[in-house]
Amino acid sequence: MDPKLLLCLPQGDELFNPLNTMFIQMACILVFSQLFYLLLKPCGQAGPVAQILAGIVLSPVLLSRIPKVKEFFLQKNAADYYSFFSFALRTSFMFLIGLEVDLHFMRRNFKKAAVITLSSFVVSGLLSFASLMLFIPLFGIKEDYFTFFLVLLVTLSNTASPVVVRSIADWKLNTCEIGRLTISCALFIELTNVVLYTIIMAFISGTIILELFLFLLATVALILINMVLAPWLPKRNPKEKYLSKAETLVFFIFLLIIGITIESYDVNSSVSVFTIGIMFPRQGKTHRTLIQRLSYPIHEFVLPVYFGYIGFRFSIIALTKRFYLGLVIIVVVTIIGKFIGVISACMYLKIPKKYWLFLPTILSVKGHVGLLLLDSNYSEKKWWTTTIHDMMVAALVITTLVSGVLASFLLKAREKDFAYEKTSLESHNTNEELRVLSCAYGVRHARGAISLVSALSGSRGASDPFTPLLMHLVPLPKKRKSELMYHEHDEDGGNANGDDEFGTNEGLEINDSIDSFAKDSKILIQQVKLVTQMLNMHEEICNATEDLRVSIVFLPFHKHQRIDGKTTNDGELFRQMNRNVLRHAPCSIGIFVDRNITGFQQPHGFDSVQHVAALFFGGPDDREALALCKWLANNTLIHLTVIQFVSEESKAETPVGNAMTRDNNEVFMEVLGRNQTEQETDRSFLEEFYNRFVTTGQVGFIEKLVSNGPHTLTILREIGEMYSLFVVGKSRGDCPMTVRMKDWEECPELGTVGDFLASSLDVNASVLVVQRQRHSHDSFIDD
């Protein structure tokens, strides 16, 4: 290539060379895509739709029909630049998708994703064969029917995983079950199509079996190199939060070398690059650095440009009537094939009907695999003409736009089906995924949160579906005017606005604690960061619980234990923040009083079994606390004992209020009926828990008869040093077993029992106070 082209120097009378025009075109795509996104966002449209429309605006259909614009954008040497830059973009985002993919979810739902992929592929294959019978006479194809069939099959069955990943993220579905299943299916379908694409290329260019074997060895070799470099590089500068840019560049150089080598043999490198990303070590500073350095530029620059380039390829000027007919047939058959294949799989897998329309619609979007196939060397095939090429590209673009628009309208029309479900742990089965968000201001709180994660995950790691998240809370100084919400950060708090210096020292220690825990337990804790003022922090935490779709949030208590065993108040602002979250949170809340010196320790790495007590008085909060203990019971490093407090008057209770007037009698009967219903619910829940865990010997059970509040306090003092952790509900209404305990409480947000356990000198254990999520008709009561 001429060096002048590489140096972006004009040749002769050309003011702009292809490289310059490519960058100007990218700038135009970004501008137009942002404009379309602002216009379409209120309608619920995802970013890829706006970005493809931006590309269409610049395509030969619209602006590039103007001779001067066409001459500027479509220069004779531009194809080489576009091809290489497209490869660089594709390599970067496929590697990032591999880094970000939820491996645990994909393993758990492998059968679902595989069945949906297979069903979709089979139906698309049958329809491709039927379409072939129509296209042979329509386009006058007289030879090599098999290759044309393969082209149709990949075109019809393909799903663009980058489009799906970006759309799901824009709709905030990437944390829910159906959103992650959609991403898994898209990846499975696309990888299948890449393999088929490779077979097509081998069929066209001759056998390349030896080369494929060498590429496989090179991919495995790079995976092994990454496994060595990833843990070694952070040791060179342990006090730095991220790797240096030079160290990060090493991974990209290796990645580009293997990608360019594979592509030079006309083989798609997407599978190798994605595999390298998905096999990259997940824990540690290296993975965090790559996510932090790649996320913003790829999501905000690379993907918009790439989607815009898909739209820029749209051209229907040269099509005649028969090719317009072929275009319509391909679009219709593609969507029908996805609907039949995916819905059939959903029926077999018993996926809820409310998702049956959304799944095939979003999985119909097309992308780079189809474009790569259409850009292949078909010079030896007489049927492969520029017109057929334009028709196929136009079909991909139109199908993607139609599917994206339909999917967004389905989401908007059935918003409740995809919204965050406010369910309590009481109705949560241990076979279902438990998503936990732990909040921490510093490393002291983070270690307590890690202890809870360790206890809930089980003794051999997360055997049941379990997703722990840790949110680093960084109070913003009042003099700062700008606020950075949690969703403006990546997993480690990196952001594009240069505010990563907030909480840097604490963040580094938190990272080290999480990395150490992940290394010992093989449990990955996802990290998010919230930088905002204390007055607004509870609102952002509540918003985060909905977007992250967590089942329970753990908050640190506003006091901590010193080395001498005494407690120190961290400040009333932290206490008020906890109270605000308790009032407004859309899920269950747990306040963790961490006595890290004398109380509960992290089970992983602890030498002996720890004793944990669940105190049950009755009421929704106590049931929620006991429901949380279902996950503790599965940890063999914890011996759980349920202590039920029973009132001595409960067996022969006389109605209170015999002197009530007739006017108040109906109100009294309503309250009495509600209390009886609550008692029945307590009894049935406790009986179910007893039959499942106590009768099998997993959990101990003790019943304590008490007469009043002082009697309860006496028992609590007696057992105060027998356990390392107490789990108790917050509120229980007018309970006779806690009467007169409010007289000396210090922290009403913990409830009467929780407050005593947290403040008593006779109790050395840690305390976890649980409040069930409040409904709109519930009133917030400081017990």
The model's pLDDT over 658-671, given as tens digits with 9 standing for 90+, comes to 333 334 444 434 44
Q: Residue range 427-443: average pLDDT?
A: 89
Q: Contact 628/425 with Cβ under 8 angstroms?
A: yes
Task: Look at residues 549, 106, 521 and name the one whose alpha carbon lies nearest to residue 283.
Answer: 521
3-state helix, strand, coil in the chain (%, to 5): 60, 10, 30
Highest mean pLDDT among 135-149, 378-392, 686-700: 686-700
Cα–Cα separations (whole angstroms), residue 698 to 345, 609, 613, 721, 734: 39, 13, 13, 22, 32
Three-state SS at 272: helix
Of the given ranges (2-16, 74-88, 165-179), which has the lowest mean pLDDT?
2-16
522: left (phi over 0), alpha (psi -120 to 50) or beta: left
Query: Which strand (E) or helix (H) includes residue 389?
Result: helix 386-413
Q: Contact 772/624 with Cβ under 8 angstroms?
A: yes
**pLDDT(3) > 50:** no
Task: Look at residues 527, 503, 355 and name the one whose alpha carbon lies nearest to residue 437.
Answer: 527
Q: Contact 271/195 with Cβ under 8 angstroms?
A: yes
Of the given ranges (81-85, 110-114, 558-562), which has the lowest mean pLDDT?
81-85
The string of pLDDT tens digits covering residues 573-612 is: 889 999 999 999 999 999 999 887 777 888 877 777 889 9
Q: What percentage of the chain carries pLDDT values higher than 70?
A: 84
- Higher pLDDT among residues 90 and 460, named by residue: 90
Task: Look at residues 303, 366, 400, 411 and name the one whose alpha carbon lies nearest to residue 44.
Answer: 411
Q: How far is CA 108 from the centre of its chain?
A: 15
The string of pLDDT tens digits covering residues 281-307 is: 988 889 999 998 999 899 888 889 888
**pLDDT(8) > 80:** no
**pLDDT(274) > 80:** yes
Q: Hey, which bits of 424-490 come out as E strands?
A: 434-440, 466-475
The string of pLDDT tens digits covering residues 100-145 is: 988 888 988 999 999 999 999 999 999 999 998 888 888 888 777 8
The string of pLDDT tens digits covering residues 364-386 is: 998 766 677 666 655 556 667 78
Which residues have a Cβ under 8 Å from the Cβ of 592 and sit 6 or more positions away?
448, 449, 452, 554, 555, 556, 557, 766, 767, 768
Q: Contact 590/768 with Cβ under 8 angstroms?
A: yes
pTM metric for this prediction: 0.85
Q: Residue range 150-179: average pLDDT?
A: 89
The string of pLDDT tens digits covering residues 477-515 is: 765 444 454 444 444 444 444 445 555 577 888 988 898
**pLDDT(27) > 70:** yes
The rounded radius of gyration (Å) of the Cα atoms in the chain is 31
pLDDT of residue 146: 79
pLDDT of residue 373: 66
Question: In DSSP terms, which residues pair with 725 in a beta bridge?
Answer: 612, 766
Q: Contact 741/681 with Cβ under 8 angstroms?
A: no
- Higher pLDDT among residues 624 and 679, named by residue: 624
| Average pLDDT in the chain | 82
**pLDDT(634) > 50:** yes
